[in-house]
Amino acid sequence: MSGIFEYNGGSIVGMKGKNCIAMACDRRFGQQMSTITTNYQKVFKIQDNILLALSGLNTDIHTFYALMEKEINLYNLKENRKMKPTTFANLVASALYERRFGPFFVTPIVAGLENGKPILATYDSIGCKSDLDDFQVGGTGGNYIYGACEAFFKPDMNPEELEEVIGQSLVSGCDRDALSGWGGVVYVLTEQKLTVKILKTKQT
Amino acid sequence: MIDFDPSTFGLAHTYQKEDKDEINTLKMPSAPQVIYRTLNGPTQTNGGNKLNNFKHGTTTLGFVFKEGILLAVDSRASMGSFLSSEQVRKVIEINEYLLGTMAGGAADCQYWLAYLANHCRTYELKNGSKLSVAAASKFLQGILIGYKNSGLSMGCMIAGSDLSGQHLYYIDNDGMRLKGDIFSVGSGSTYAYGVLDNHYRYEMSLNEAVELGIRAIYHATHRDTASGGVVRVYHIHQNGWTKVHDGIDVVDLHYQFAQQKGLVGDGDEAKQRLF
């Protein structure tokens, strides 16, 4: 409870499926042991085919998201085209390393669909990218969510199964973490659409 | 003050014919002896920051009203930010007319309230009448003053019924003993006090009091991360105590109260942006 990453609390998880990706996050915004609101946004749609989830210090979540939004808008204006998810994943790593000696206290997860192929990348707070796993977690409840993910996950799930699995993993994980929870949101991205569902969870 | 010989640490004796001068009952392990005392004031826990001190991660409350005393507690135990249990029993049944609430160190509360129970029973047998709530709470205070500054962590309420009525005392590890009408103890106590102070009236009926206790605990569990699980409610009246509710899930309470207000309870009433 005493670290800067534990000050606000929160958990995120990302998973790959068959031609789809899913992200889930809790909704708590707290200050140490006190909960302030239960509707804080932690997953952002950067582009129609890219989602960025952030966990860590909430002020840096907001600032880093605003920075990424600026970068992608400028890219669209300069290059007159959309950014590929793999390019965005690299951009996040560079943007984090730019602040190597005064970092953003966030642990991002990037998920996207590039020509139908799912991309998932996670980083530490100074930009070490890891994109080889089928699911990734972040935040104070991350380790508890890992357990549930390992139990429920199987490769190449369809969007409905993926939504169910990621929702259950998030909820089970957050139930064991005092600093995460108070609601959950699941995002499932396919070639055709982005589905956003709010989970009914423990509000304690 | 000490009834048991300190040298009989952990030994159980049964009545021996040779021991006709003393009746050896089953001896409890003797009370722990403090080997040294810290000379520098209260032991620091968790860097001394009271808000982070998870040993007090709980919400318990009790109040006196015209039908007796109502106690309501949550049931969460946390180790840092890890939730170790959601099913803890924080009301300790000392005997049929005395209840104690647990806040702070679980081991400390369990042990010393069991010690108090033993003392009450011995007194009853030797003197033919029950120990009063005032005397029982004072006995516990005496013990805790003896262990002051040695690191015990207890913030408990002793509530009970005796010949002079129903009484509520707050006892803590600093040796404080307070008689009062409304108490809330633990990290969620501030939230519970807000609800309690708003709707408390001495003339409440039992149903209103139970409803108030449940509501106060629920609000504390919603805002405080170290409180949660289920609400347990006890009522103390002139014939002893009754367990009113053994465990109402606070999750169900949240959605129930939200529905009563015409809301859904998912935190989205402000229609915040989702992506």
CATH number, domain at B97?
Answer: 3.60.20.10
pLDDT tens, position by position, B137-150: 999 999 999 999 88
pLDDT tens, position by position, A22-45: 999 999 999 999 999 999 999 999
| Candidate from A35, A41, A176 with C-beta closest to B225 | A35
pLDDT of residue B56: 66
**pLDDT over 70 (residue B157):** yes
Average pLDDT over residues B213-219: 97
Q: Which pTM value belongs to this model?
A: 0.84
Percent of chain A topping pLDDT 90: 96
Are the C-beta atoms of residues A171 and A165 closer than 8 Å to each other?
no
Phi, psi torsion values for A92, nearest 5 degrees: -60, -45
Decide if B58 is catalytic: yes
User: Within a domain: residue B149?
Assistant: yes
User: Within a domain: residue B79?
Assistant: yes
pLDDT tens, position by position, A63-72: 999 999 999 9
* Chain A residue with the nearest C-alpha to that of B75: A204
User: Within a domain: residue B209?
Assistant: yes
User: Within a domain: residue B42?
Assistant: no
Q: Identify the contact set of chain B against chain A, taking CB-CB distances under 8 A.
A: 46-47, 51-52, 54, 57, 78, 80-83, 187, 221-229, 250-251, 254-255, 265-268, 270, 272-275
Q: Which residues on chain A are in Cβ contact (under 8 Å) with B52?
A: 1-2, 32-33
- Domain span at residue B173 reads 60-260
Split into its structural domains, chain B has a count of 1
CA separation for the pair B215, B70 (Å, rounded) = 13
As beta bridge partners, residue A137 has A13
**pLDDT over 80 (residue A107):** yes
User: Within a domain: residue B225?
Assistant: yes
Percent of chain B topping pLDDT 90: 67
User: Within a domain: residue B12?
Assistant: no
Q: Is A16 on the interface with B (CB under 8 A)?
A: no
User: Within a domain: residue B46?
Assistant: no
**Average per-residue pLDDT for chain B:** 85
What ipTM did this prediction achieve?
0.86
Q: Are strands A184-189 and B82-85 parallel, antiparallel or unpaired?
A: unpaired
Query: Among A5, A26, A33, A37, which Cα is nearest to A202's?
Result: A26
> Which residues 117-176 of A have a C-beta within 8 angstroms of B?
140, 175-176
User: Within a domain: residue B4?
Assistant: no
Task: Tell me B261's DSSP state.
Answer: T
Reading phi first (left if > 0) and then psi (alpha if -120 to 50, else beta), residue B269 is in: alpha
Confidence of residue B44 (pLDDT cuts 50, 70, 90): very low
Segments of A38-116 assigned E as strands: 43-47, 50-56, 106-114
Fill in the amino acid letter for A52.
L
pLDDT of residue A79: 97
